[in-house]
Amino acid sequence: MPLIIKDEYPEKLFRDDGKRLDGRDKTELRPIKMDVGVVENADGSAYLEWGNNKIFAAVYGPREVHPHHLAKPDRGILRVFYRMTTYSVFERKRPAPGRREKEISMVIADCLRPLLFLELYPGTSFEVFLEVMDADGGTRCAATTVAALALADAGIPMKSLVTAVAVGKIDDELVVDLSGIEDKAGQADLPCAITWFNEELSLLQFDGNMNLKQMEEFLSLAKTALSEIYQIQLDALKKKYIEIQEEVSGGNS
Ligand code: UDP
């Protein structure tokens, strides 16, 4: 599937057969693949491919806070570093973290913080590094989703996972999981995330225009998509433990 070429936006985002440009139906997700335990030197890690997006997540902690003055005497702190590699997009991205990456790191931290028991880890830090190797729309949602998996892989006590997806409007139709070109050439983009332990939204951003009825429809579409993605997260975690179990029972026989 070709990645987006900047400024070459098609006039229509639906084909004559009613499908989206990448062949999907309106409520269909791009193919998603997740694995955990992929970075040897991290306490926990995960890798995700979501359409053309490719993202690594590595988690370290609880560990000493650097620089020390950031440490909190009554709780641990969570730091998230979302970065896009220079080669992850069509036009070279400047290597230094820009405002967009700082904002996305902040919103992802806001999604992850409610999951953790930071009050049990005074004076320490949890650090989540998110490296976008290939980007094609929805990277903040994909990064949030894979970050939760890496935290779980690190064995950090968590209230639940968090899952994120973007829904949007293209050519006046509501669709799920916007690709890069749909994000840029569409009419609305609404990334959202749900924390499963309380079923609350922990991310809701909005860019574009829609009426209140469409907003309700959006949230209902998002809920269905989020449940589907949550299942893939759970399967990725279970896969690791099934493999360990098989290794152990193989070794005993
Ligand atoms: N993008 C890009 N260059 C940039 C930032 C973003 O080409 O410097 C592309 C990338 O494919 C990204 C998409 O634009 O996924 C949409 O970016 P946005 O800021 O809306 O965040 P995202 O949808 O990835 O969460």
Three state DSSP letters for the chain: CCCCCCCCCCCCCECCCCCECCCCCCCCCCCEEEEECCCCCCCEEEEEEECCEEEEEEEEEEEECCCHHHCECCECEEEEEEEECCCCCCCCCCCCCCHHHHHHHHHHHHHHHHHECHHHCCCEEEEEEEEEEECCCCHHHHHHHHHHHHHHHCCCCECCCEEEEEEEEECCEEEECCCHHHHHHCCEEEEEEEECCCCEEEEECCEECCCHHHHHHHHHHHHHHHHHHHHHHHHHHHHHHHHHHHHHHHHHC
Our answer on whether the CB atom of 37 is closer than 6 Å to any ligand 1 atom is no
Residue 8: pLDDT band (50, 70, 90) is confident
Of the residues 89, 102, 189, which should be mutated to test ligand 1's pocket, given the most ligand atoms within 8 Å of the CB? 89
Distance from the alpha carbon of residue 13 to the mean position of ligand 1, in angstroms: 18
pLDDT digits (tens, 9 = 90+) for 118-150: 999 999 999 999 999 999 999 999 999 999 999
pLDDT for the residue 3: 53
pLDDT digits (tens, 9 = 90+) for 203-222: 999 988 888 998 999 999 99
When pLDDT is averaged across residues 52-67 and rounded to a whole number, the result is 97
Domains detected in the chain: 32-252 (3.30.230.70)
For the CA of 100, the nearest atom of ligand 1: 19
Residue nearest to atom 8 of ligand 1 (CA): 93
Our answer on whether the CB atom of 140 is closer than 6 Å to any ligand 1 atom is yes
Distance from the alpha carbon of residue 4 to the mean position of ligand 1, in angstroms: 10
Residue nearest to atom 24 of ligand 1 (CA): 139
pLDDT for the residue 156: 97
pLDDT digits (tens, 9 = 90+) for 147-196: 999 999 999 999 999 999 999 999 999 999 999 999 999 999 999 999 99
pLDDT digits (tens, 9 = 90+) for 73-102: 999 999 999 999 999 998 889 989 999 999
When pLDDT is averaged across residues 225-248 and rounded to a whole number, the result is 94
Our answer on whether the CB atom of 93 is closer than 6 Å to any ligand 1 atom is yes
For the CA of 191, the nearest atom of ligand 1: 25
pLDDT for the residue 135: 98
pTM given for the model? 0.95
Our answer on whether the CB atom of 136 is closer than 6 Å to any ligand 1 atom is yes
